[in-house]
Structure 1
Amino acid sequence: MSTVDNREPVSVDDATEANSAGARGPRVWLRNIAFLGPAFVAAIAYVDPGNVAANITAGARYGFLLVWVLVLANLIAMLIQYQSAKLGIVTGTSLPTLLGRRLGTRSRRAFWLQAEIVAIATDLAEVLGGAIALQLLFGLPLVVGGVIVGVVSMLLLLLQNPQQQRVFERVILGLLAIIVIGFVAGLFVNPPPAGEVLGGLIPRLQGPETVLLAASMLGATVMPHAIYVHSALVIDRFGVSKTSVRKRRLIRITRWDVVIALIIAGTVNIALLLLAATNLLGIEGTDTIEGAYDAVSNALGHGMATIFAIGLLASGLAATSVGSTAGAAIMGGLLHKRIPLFVRRVVTVIPALIVLAIGVDPTWALVVSQVVLSFGIPFALIPLGRLTGDRELMGEFVDRWPLRVAAGVSAVLIVILNLTLIGLVLTGSA
């Protein structure tokens, strides 16, 4: 009997993959394209309403100053989403489950608690954003809009199971297309000045508030729950791979999946900041989503503002479905308990409805929620780097030293930014 690595039997599928591993041509490309998808689902987390609030606020207040933050954050996101997906493919186990197996009971519960706080902050941003969009489009009260977003997201969750994973991916891809059109279209009507965009690529900050915004933009772009869920999404999509041949092929395809999906997400994020910096800078009240909508309507026309609001609604609906999926994966892996996604959706939507009911400024609540997410990043990023760098666990697929160095530097930068933010908050400077 033929064998591949560790004397595992070679199936017909494995043999086919081995024969086509080095092949090129239309059929191979089409077959590989069919495997794309999990990264696009994870990428929805990178274009949620929290991104809209953080990026519009940054552009409206500081112009092109913080473009470099988004570029850096997107590069970090590509790195860690690739690591997360590779971990799932190689081990056949999600990141939360691996952590749950390695941590003691108290540590597991503490780790779950911080991850759950991050998940709640994520839900807060997504429900608030969807509620704001419904108010802009139809004049609905924010609380009513929040309830509608929660209900629609529950319906989308009916598609989220391993048997219907591809259907769920197609729905999310459709919403992603709406998001891209909604947030990028305005740039074609009034393009930003190229010189100022290039100037925004120079790393610099201006005062404590830009540190807060940078942390918010980082938290909105590098999403902790997306790190956790990507390792689970590839397992749901591809199953557990038993041979090195199949793992190698899936890792290669996943690399393209991540790069393409996050280039799209990064383009949307940068477009939001450029839209605000070009059309909203210096205009009173445009550092809120509602103010930005009015200003876009005045500057680019009501039709363009409506497209913007539709994109915001699509981002809220898509992201809240992915967020609920991530929360379930986190709880199942760390606490070894599973609750129905519908129950989880009801529980996690309550804090957002409370915020809407008591009258907290929704845009500011969105920005603060992204800061909370930024604090959760190291808790996902550092264990991920250690696991993908563990030769005993990853075998021949262990991270090479350039990837490990890049991941380590990313983690250090994020921790430094968060510590700086804590210092500013404690001293009352932020």
Structure 2
Amino acid sequence: MDARTPGLSAEPSAKSLTMSDTTATGWRADAAAGAQRSLPEVNSTISVPFGGHWSRRLLAFLGPGYLVSVGYMDPGNWATDLAGGSKFGYTLLAVILLSNLMAILLQALAARLGIVTDRDLAQACRASFSRPVNFMLWLACEAAIIACDLAEVIGTAIALNLLFGIPLIWGALITALDAFLLLLLMNKGFRFLEAFVISLLIVIAICFSIQIVAAAPPVAAVLKGFVPSPEIVTNPEMLYIAIGIIGATVMPHNLYLHSAIVQTRAYERTNEGRREAIKWATTDSTIALMLALFINAAILIVAAATFYSSGRTEVAEIGQAYELLSPLLGLGIASTLFAVALLASGLNSTVTATLAGQIVMEGFLHLRLPSWARRLLTRGIAIVPVVIVTALYGERGTSQLLVFSQVILSMQLPFAVIPLVKFVSDKRKMGEFVIPRGVAVVAWIVAGIIVALNVKLLIETFFG
């Protein structure tokens, strides 16, 4: 729907971006002066109703949260959740719950930053830090996107192999063609892109709902798994998988992505309009991330109920899980559902990682590349190690590379989380929208937990 439809909010004018709308200083003035907007081709293109029932405004804001949630259930999550469930039963459900709560908080802060400042996180970093610091932050974020892309290449290649018998190397090469998928979807409009992503998420949810019913896990054991155990920290192998789960769940590039795509809504660029936008954008992302919690928990629960309970504690590879699911569950279609969900996950992750790459490159470097060129570059960097590892070590090597990619993602988290919390806690930048002191304390605690876990992982990896 066009933003100029009568009765709906219009493209924000320079007047609505002026300093009179907020007590924040320089950033908003830059926006009013015509500074480069985040994702300019879709910025403020989706209408938001002024009045009427609250459900109409919620529906207008539904979408960005689901694009963000894709990163929380990509193929990298599958590897860590399968490994955790088959080896340690339901114990690591507490880590999935904790990481999801972290994600809900951090994504709400990312949405707030984008709505209040008219900048995404990359643009905010560029405006606040020196050139060397920005360059290092950009490198860290690019490393995270490449690690995420690595997981997508492996996951999609494995899904193609399981469903159609395509060799892993050829499957990895075929994934280069999806560079044009985002271009096609964006040309049809951002709402079409959101509808595509949500449709695939529904497919994934249905597939795992059927598998959970077939697995029939003991409810008491599942509920107990959501209670944290000291063993998670004291057991090095469990800690390694736990940090992999956090890295696979709280995705650093999602913070950049969310702060940009919330600006696709043509909400009123006034204090009241921004306040409403923050409320509905936070509601959207919270609902979407609860779906991500269900998917991640479902993968681990199915692995625990199927493999751990039958003594198959060595199952940590997607291919193994595919082969064993149907026989162990006694449901012939279980393995096919598993592979279909994996393919849907890989396709969805392709879309969001491409968008995040565009936001990061434009925000940090002011460098604009065609979407297809940006995607081919990132995808090419990810395909090369997959092809080499597959050729040398086969499927087992790619599965280990998949888990390792999620640990790399976790390592990059502090470089996105710390600047985000710093910005939204700064009254000079956020004005009256600065987060309350209590929320700031919790956000810094989350950042501290992430840093501490990463330091412990490094010590265990190099000295343990």
TM above 0.5: yes
Return the offset for 1:241.
Answer: 4.5
The 1:416–1:107 alpha-carbon spacing in structure 2 relative to 1, beyond 3 Å, is same
* Conserved 8 A contact 2:362-2:368: yes
Structure 1 position 287 matched with structure 2 position 316: yes
Find the counterpart in structure 2 of residue 340 from structure 1. Answer: 370
- The superposition leaves residues 14-54 of structure 1 with CA deviations (integer Å, 9 ceiling, x where unpaired) of 9983xx4xx7xxx3313421221111101100010000111
The 1:15–1:270 alpha-carbon spacing in structure 2 relative to 1, beyond 3 Å, is closer
C-alpha distance in 2, partners of 1:215/1:154?
Answer: 33
Find the counterpart in structure 2 of residue 224 from structure 1. Answer: 252
Structure 1 position 188 matched with structure 2 position 217: no
Return the offset for 1:184.
Answer: 3.1
How do residues 313-332 of structure 1 correspond to structure 2 at under 5 angstroms?
313-332=343-362
The farther-off stretch of 148-157 and 98-107 is: 148-157
Query: SS at the partner of 1:286?
Result: coil
Structure 1 position 268 matched with structure 2 position 295: yes
Which of 77, 95, 101 is 1:69 aligned to?
Answer: 95
Query: SS at the partner of 1:332?
Result: helix
Structure 1 position 202 matched with structure 2 position 227: yes
Structure 1 position 371 matched with structure 2 position 403: no
C-alpha distance in 2, partners of 1:386/1:423?
Answer: 27
In the alignment, residue 385 of structure 2 is paired with which amino acid?
V
Return the offset for 1:350.
Answer: 2.2
Structure 1 position 298 matched with structure 2 position 298: no
- The superposition leaves residues 245-285 of structure 1 with CA deviations (integer Å, 9 ceiling, x where unpaired) of 11111111112101100000011000100000000112165
The 1:15–1:149 alpha-carbon spacing in structure 2 relative to 1, beyond 3 Å, is closer
Query: SS at the partner of 1:364?
Result: helix
Structure 1 position 156 matched with structure 2 position 189: no
In the alignment, residue 306 of structure 1 is paired with which amino acid?
T
How do residues 25-424 of structure 1 correspond to structure 2 at under 5 angstroms?
27-160=53-186, 164-204=189-229, 205=232, 207-235=235-263, 237-239=264-266, 241-281=268-308, 282-283=311-312, 285-300=314-329, 301-358=331-388, 359=390, 360=393, 361-424=397-460
The 1:84–1:15 alpha-carbon spacing in structure 2 relative to 1, beyond 3 Å, is closer
C-alpha distance in 2, partners of 1:186/1:343?
Answer: 39
The farther-off stretch of 97-106 and 268-277 is: 97-106
Percent of pairs with identical residues: 38
The farther-off stretch of 412-421 and 151-160 is: 151-160
* Conserved 8 A contact 1:157-1:321: no
Report the RMSD for the aligned CA atoms in angstroms: 2.2
Return the offset for 1:242.
Answer: 2.1
* Conserved 8 A contact 1:130-1:149: yes
The 1:404–1:283 alpha-carbon spacing in structure 2 relative to 1, beyond 3 Å, is same
In the alignment, residue 378 of structure 2 is paired with which amino acid?
T
Query: SS at the partner of 1:34?
Result: helix
The 1:4–1:385 alpha-carbon spacing in structure 2 relative to 1, beyond 3 Å, is closer
C-alpha distance in 1, partners of 2:238/2:118?
Answer: 41
In the alignment, residue 227 of structure 2 is paired with which amino acid?
I
C-alpha distance in 2, partners of 1:376/1:198?
Answer: 31
In the alignment, residue 417 of structure 2 is paired with which amino acid?
L
- The superposition leaves residues 97-119 of structure 1 with CA deviations (integer Å, 9 ceiling, x where unpaired) of 11012222222111111111111
In the alignment, residue 306 of structure 2 is paired with which amino acid?
N
In the alignment, residue 208 of structure 2 is paired with which amino acid?
F
* Conserved 8 A contact 1:46-1:220: yes
C-alpha distance in 2, partners of 1:128/1:164?
Answer: 29
C-alpha distance in 2, partners of 1:227/1:6?
Answer: 26
C-alpha distance in 2, partners of 1:383/1:166?
Answer: 30
C-alpha distance in 2, partners of 1:258/1:83?
Answer: 11
| TM-score, with length taken from structure 2 | 0.85
* Conserved 8 A contact 1:124-1:366: yes
The 1:285–1:7 alpha-carbon spacing in structure 2 relative to 1, beyond 3 Å, is closer
| TM-score, with length taken from structure 1 | 0.91
Find the counterpart in structure 2 of residue 11 from structure 1. Answer: none
C-alpha distance in 2, partners of 1:42/1:356?
Answer: 25
How many residues are treated as equivalent by the alignment?
A: 413
The 1:332–1:295 alpha-carbon spacing in structure 2 relative to 1, beyond 3 Å, is same
C-alpha distance in 2, partners of 1:298/1:15?
Answer: 50
C-alpha distance in 1, partners of 2:49/2:73?
Answer: 37
C-alpha distance in 2, partners of 1:15/1:241?
Answer: 9
Return the offset for 1:4.
Answer: 12
C-alpha distance in 2, partners of 1:48/1:261?
Answer: 14
Return the offset for 1:69.
Answer: 0.2
The 1:6–1:418 alpha-carbon spacing in structure 2 relative to 1, beyond 3 Å, is closer
C-alpha distance in 2, partners of 1:291/1:16?
Answer: 50
Query: SS at the partner of 2:186?
Result: coil
* Conserved 8 A contact 2:156-2:171: yes
* Conserved 8 A contact 1:178-1:311: yes
Return the offset for 1:415.
Answer: 0.7
In the alignment, residue 276 of structure 1 is paired with which amino acid?
A
C-alpha distance in 2, partners of 1:119/1:4?
Answer: 32
- The superposition leaves residues 173-201 of structure 1 with CA deviations (integer Å, 9 ceiling, x where unpaired) of 11111121223321011221112112212
In the alignment, residue 131 of structure 1 is paired with which amino acid?
A
Return the offset for 1:408.
Answer: 0.7
* Conserved 8 A contact 2:150-2:386: no
C-alpha distance in 2, partners of 1:260/1:87?
Answer: 19
C-alpha distance in 2, partners of 1:156/1:180?
Answer: 22
